[in-house]
Structures are given as C-alpha cells and as structure tokens.
Structure 1
Amino acid sequence: MIILFGLGIELSPAHDIYTGPLLVAMPALASLTMGPKGTLSAAAGALAVSLTTTTLHEAWGGMLIYSNLLGLLVVSVASVITSKTVRARRQSELDQVRRVAVAAQRVLLRPVPARLGPVRAASMYLAAETGAQIGGDLYEAVQTRYGVRMIVGDVRGKGLPAVGLASAVLSAFREAVHYEDDLVEVVNHCAAALHRERAAPGAVDQDEREDQAEDFVTVLVAQVPDGFEVQVVNRGHPAPLLLRQGEVHALMPSSPLPPLGLDDFITGLPAKAESFPFAPGDRLLLHTDGVMEARNSDREFFALAEAMAAVPTCTPPQFLEQLHRALIRHTGGHLADDAAMLVVERLDEEAGNKQAAQLLPPEVTDRIDLPDTS
C-alpha cells in the first residue's frame, strides 16, 4: 500500500516530493510481519518504483539516486536476514507452546479407556480454534466400585480462565467418584471445586477475575452400574442421546437444574439421580453444545440424532469418527465452538462381568459380588 502511495506521488504533479527514504524503509517494515518471500517482494516493489520513476523523470546521474538505490539494497538484504531469524524464533516458540498444549491435553482431556467394566467407550475432542488443543469443554470416564462413572461439561468462557475452571471440575470429579456412593454428592464436589477456583487469589488478574465471577459450567454426570440402567444427574447440560435399535432418544431430566456456579437458583428438594433403561447393545452419547449447535452456511443446526441413527454397526471409536465426518461435512470444516463427545456401549452381562473382574484390582473385586458365569 505504501509502495503504491509512493508510486502515485511520483506519477502525479507532486513528483518533486522526494520519496526515496519512504521506499527504502519498505523492506524493513515488511520484515516485521512477513517472511523472507514477503520481504523480498516488498524490496522488489520498492526497487521497481525507484527505477520506473527515475527513468520517467530522467533523473539518472545524480548522486542522490545512486545513494537511494544502495540504501535500498543494504536495507533489503538486512531485512531478509532479519525476517528469517525472527520467523525461526517465532516458529520455535510456537512449537514449544504446542508441545505444552499437547502435554496439558493429555493430563486434562486424556482419551478414555476402550473397555470399562460393562461398557465399551471412546472419546473425541474437537477444538474450534485452529492450532488449539484444549479449551473449556471437559470429559472423563472412570471405572469405580459403584460402576462406570462419566462426566461431560462445558465452561461458559474462553481462554486460560476457562481451562482453569475445567481443570478444577475434572480434578474434583476424578477424586470424588471413588469414595462418594451418591452421584449427586459427586456433582456437589465439582460445584465446590468450581467455587474455590473462582475465589482463589492470584489465579488470574483482576479483569479476568471479574469476568470469571460470572462464568458457570454445565455438566452431566452419568453412572452405569451392574444393572441394565444408566443414572444421570444433569446440571444445565444438553441431554445425552441413547441409540437403541436404530432409534435415538434424548434422556431429558424431569426437573431441569441450573449449571454449576448458579446454585442460588436451585429451589425445592435437592437433586436426585434419574435412572433410564440401558440394555445390552445400547449406545449412550454424551456431548457438548458445540456438536448440536454447529451450523452450516444456511445457519441450520447439525442434526445429531439423525447422524447417530445413520451410522452403521461399528466400534465406538469408529462411531465417533463417523459423527466427526458428518459434522465436518455439515459445517464445511469450520466449527464455531469447541466440541466434545463421549460414547459408551452396554455389553451383555457376562462379557461385562468378566471385563470388570479383569480391570479392577483384587482389593476392589474382593468387595464386589460378581455373578457366577461359569
């Protein structure tokens, strides 16, 4: 743009204005934001303007012209070298940040095991921002003495504060699931951890703290016990979808509850886990709103239930991959929000009991009565 501005001056009646210093500075300015190729292009453009205007105005022979060209050459060479160095340093820093993000994701959003007692499982996380690894969505599935316990959640907020809240909720869940027999108490531990994280001094700066005070977390906690049922506590989260014999059913709560962080809005009796049938062969999909609210170019939502019903018989990881492909086709590859999915498939009782006995340590299995399947 500046090169064109200089060319306009040289070709206008105001060509007496000397634009040499302006053109000499172009490669240096380009090196701040462009790579070596962009810097060379800027240098070539400045050189072309200098040669063109010098020829048009028949200004060859003056010492000032040769000084201008020499200065342009020196600045161009220095700018290309500088752009290479800066680009290499920025790439190294970016690679380091990505390695840290990958390591953080493995801790915060680790893939769930393929087999957990009476279920087969798979998980998937899709970041909306290019190059991002983690965000405000969370999920986990854990084998406990009470059954398989799962959580899916979504933090209202973005950036590092959202990651901090998600980490606090997940940490509380991973601890509480092993000693709290009541699923509601597990959720209460998550709510308490969220409150402590928002109130912790020094976690974020003042501006972020004011924003974080208004943040909340929608969560859905589910449990698959030994029987053919699934127990659910839903705190403001999208309802899980149950796929049974080609038909999809939403497990809607009978009494909607507010998300974690908005506990002042709870009135009446305390929440109780709700039970739904979960027979062998059924698949349960826990997901965040980034999946169901994904839009196409016509602003139409992604038909998640129809996409689930259209997936042919396959393993849970293949099932999620098919949903991922359908989601990418629908959005054209551009997600507006992070998306997380966790699917579990109920096995028959014999297979589930054998798998539970293999996965749990002896000190736990000694306290659980498994039916004799011999």
Structure 2
Amino acid sequence: MRGAVTAGTVGGVASWQERFVPRARPWLSSHAPLLVAVALVVLITVADIVAPADIVLGPLLVIAPAITAWSEGPWTTGGVGVAAVAAQGLIGWRSGVLSTRSFVVQVIALALLSAFVVALSLVRDRRRRELAQVRSVAEAAQRVLLWPLPERLGSLQLASRYLAAEDEASIGGDLYAATRTPGGARVLIGDVRGKGLPAIGEAALLLGAFRETAHHHTALPALAASLERSVARYLADFEPEEESGERFVTALLLEIPDDAPVIRMTSCGHVAPLLLGPDSRVTVPELSPAPPLGVGLTDPDGGVVDEVPFGAEDTLVLYTDGVIEARDRHGVFYPFAQRAARWSGCPPGALLDHVQRDLIAHTGGRLGDDVALIAVRRAPAGPGARRTARHGGGHDAAPPG
C-alpha cells in the first residue's frame, strides 16, 4: 500500500488521498494530451469570440484533434474533431459570418483535416496491434528456446538474464542452458555470430544438442566435439553460400561437481567468466580456449579442461561479449568487472538485476549486441538439494507451461 493511512481512518479504510490520488495520477499522465486538447478548444473558441473582428483564431482548432491522436484512439480523436467543428460553428454564429463563403470553407477544411487525423490514428492503432502480436510471438519463441534457468539446481543457486539488441525483439543469437548430470551440473553459455533472426536457428540447434548430449559424455572435450558435429551438420545444410566458412558459435562449457569445490571449464573461443569472491575480489580465470564451434577444429581427445576453485561464498558470472563491448555515448566501454564487484555479496538474481540496470543506464538503453548473463553460486545443501544430487541424471530447467 502506498503511503500511510491517516489517523482519521476508520476500520482500515484509507483517506481520500490514499485511495484517489495514486489512481488519478496515472490517469492524468496518460490522458494529458486529451485534457490539453479540450482546454485548447475552449480557449480558442472564447478568444476568437472576444477578439476584434479582424483577428480570426478558429482555424487553430485543428490542433486539438492532432494533439488528441498522440495518446487516444480514433473514436476519442474523432469526438474531439467533432467538438472542434462545433466550436467553429459557434464562433461563426456569434460573429455573424456563419453563412459566408469564407467561413464555410474554413469549416469544411477543419472537418477534412480532423478526418485525416482520425485516419492516421486508425493506421497507428493497427500497427500497434501488429507490433503487440510480433512481441507476443517473440516472447513465446524465447520461452520455448531459452528455458528459464531454475533458481536451484542441485547444490547451486542460478540466475539468468537476456537482453536482445534488435528493436522490439526478445531473443537473438546468445544462448544458455543448464542441466543436472550424475554427481553435478553442467552449464552452457554461447554466442552465435551475428544477431537477430538469422542466428536463432543455430542457437536453437546448439541448445537442443547440449540438452541431449550433456548426459552422455563424461568429459567436457568430448561434449564439445559432439556439439561441433551438430553445428557442422546444420551449417552444411543451411549455411548460405555467401557466408560459407563465416558462421560459427563461441561457447563455454562448465562442469560443477557436487563433491568438490571446483569448476571445470572448456572454452570454445568464448570470453572467460568473472569469479567474484565474498570480499569483492574479482578474478578472471585464465582459460586455454579451443576454436569456436563450427570451424571444424574441435578435438575430442586433445581438448583442454581448465579447473578453478569455487568456494561456498564465490559467485561465477558468465556472459557474452555484448556486455564488455557495450559503450556509452562517449564511446567508453562498460567496466563490467569493476561494476560487478560492487554487488559480489548479493544473491545471483539480485546481482544480475543490478548489472542489468547499470548496463542499460551506461548505454542509454541502446545495446550494440545481444547480452546473456548467468550467475552461479554454490548454495548450502538442503534436503531437497541432497535428493537431487543423489538422483543426478537429469532434468533440465523445464519450459514454462
């Protein structure tokens, strides 16, 4: 509840300020152009009537429906247009020029311009509905493709965020997934070259391949090689000829065992994560990256697995390069490590909320590339977590119903 209930309230009923003002303010702000338009009709009408005969203000009434169209629909806009035409008629009647040719032309011109504004309002509303449909489809595609990561996965606390660079889009070429495996969990974050719709097919393929094969390979290099084969088959069938050899996916594969305070990582050309300590210490693990997926160079036997300590109070932040390549209006890159250190003690969800707000503020809301973020922290093992760990082999984060 907003505000405090005044001392004069009885039986828990709030004062009129409590009940009316919070509701009135949003209405006033959303309908301000309508109120301005009505006020203009009244002011212009009165001013024209009281002004000398050689001063004609009636044609200015066309401003009223134009202003109304900013926030209202065609019916309200048309109503204001009718009011403007009626006000013009009142002006002519009071001035004694109602039947003159010049005044009739003014009334007809005002009516035609008001009708034109109403037509534009109809077109705008239709486009708004189409845009709403596109957004709903994009949101549905995001829920199907990028299943929301669970808040708990075995002994881990997880959080994820996705910001698409394309206007009015909800998804692009960045991707992430997490799944339980016997004795631990595996996490994937990746970045398809390019953004927008052309990258979604490759992202969907890689996510499906990871969810299927993460349980069947005991070593991360073997898992990376399996994903390489899946991407290579997809590119062989669907890669445009003009982009031959230019499509690839950077990926970072993680394995987090339940019984050891470490994280094992295999990087396929992906940026290294941030490891945040409880004392605001930030470490960037030194990885030995393999080539990106899709270039045909992943070796299942010669791949490198990097292992870094991961204690109970540490937080690992995985991200795509859209974060560190984000710039402000002066061209300054976003200082990700420095900013993330401020919130190292926050839970994963709160940490990513802070980063998201700060990143949007830094860029002024205009991202140059898609952004994906995952925060992982080892949580105290409760009874539910121990049961999940014992029965390990797997379930992914379930898609929303």
Structure 2: unaligned runs, 5 residues or longer: 1-65, 82-100, 395-401
Contact 1:136–1:157 (CA under 8 A) maintained in structure 2? yes
TM-score where L is the length of structure 2: 0.67
Q: Corresponding residue for 1:335? A: 367
Matched to 1:357, the amino acid is R
> In structure 2, which of residues 285, 291, 314 is the aligned counterpart of residue 251 of structure 1?
285
- Compared CA separation, residues 238 and 364, structure 1 to 2 (3 A): closer
What is the SS of the residue equivalent to 1:263? coil
> In structure 2, which of residues 308, 318, 329 is the aligned counterpart of residue 286 of structure 1?
318
> In structure 2, which of residues 225, 242, 248 is the aligned counterpart of residue 188 of structure 1?
225
Question: Distance in 1 between the 2:165 and 2:217 partners?
Answer: 35
Q: Corresponding residue for 2:209? A: 172
Alignment of 1:298 onto 2:327: no
CA offsets 1:68-126 (integer angstroms, 9 cap, x no match): 98996786465444323322322222111111110111111222111111211100111
Alignment of 1:1-374 (within 5 A): 76=113, 79-200=116-237, 210-211=242-243, 213-226=245-258, 227-245=260-278, 246-254=280-288, 256-264=289-297, 270-311=302-343, 313-348=345-380, 351=381, 354-359=383-388, 364=393
Matched to 2:229, the amino acid is A
Question: Distance in 1 between the 2:361 and 2:122 partners?
Answer: 39
Contact 1:169–1:191 (CA under 8 A) maintained in structure 2? no
Contact 1:118–1:355 (CA under 8 A) maintained in structure 2? no
Aligned Cα RMSD in Å? Answer: 3.4
What is the SS of the residue equivalent to 1:296? coil
Measure how far apart 1:239 and its partner are: 0.3
TM-score where L is the length of structure 1: 0.71
Contact 1:173–1:187 (CA under 8 A) maintained in structure 2? no
Measure how far apart 1:224 and its partner are: 0.1
CA offsets 1:159-190 (integer angstroms, 9 cap, x no match): 21201111111111111112222222222222
- Compared CA separation, residues 244 and 215, structure 1 to 2 (3 A): same
- Compared CA separation, residues 92 and 326, structure 1 to 2 (3 A): closer
Matched to 2:307, the amino acid is S
- Compared CA separation, residues 279 and 93, structure 1 to 2 (3 A): same
Question: Distance in 2 between the 1:344 and 1:172 partners?
Answer: 22
Contact 2:254–2:264 (CA under 8 A) maintained in structure 1? yes
Question: Distance in 1 between the 2:244 and 2:172 partners?
Answer: 15
Structure 1: unaligned runs, 5 residues or longer: 1-30, 44-62, 366-374
CA offsets 1:256-295 (integer angstroms, 9 cap, x no match): 322111234x689621322111121111111001111212
Measure how far apart 1:212 and its partner are: 6.7
CA offsets 1:128-182 (integer angstroms, 9 cap, x no match): 2332200011111112214111111111112212011111111111111122222
Matched to 2:158, the amino acid is A
Matched to 1:247, the amino acid is R
State how many pairs are aligned.
304
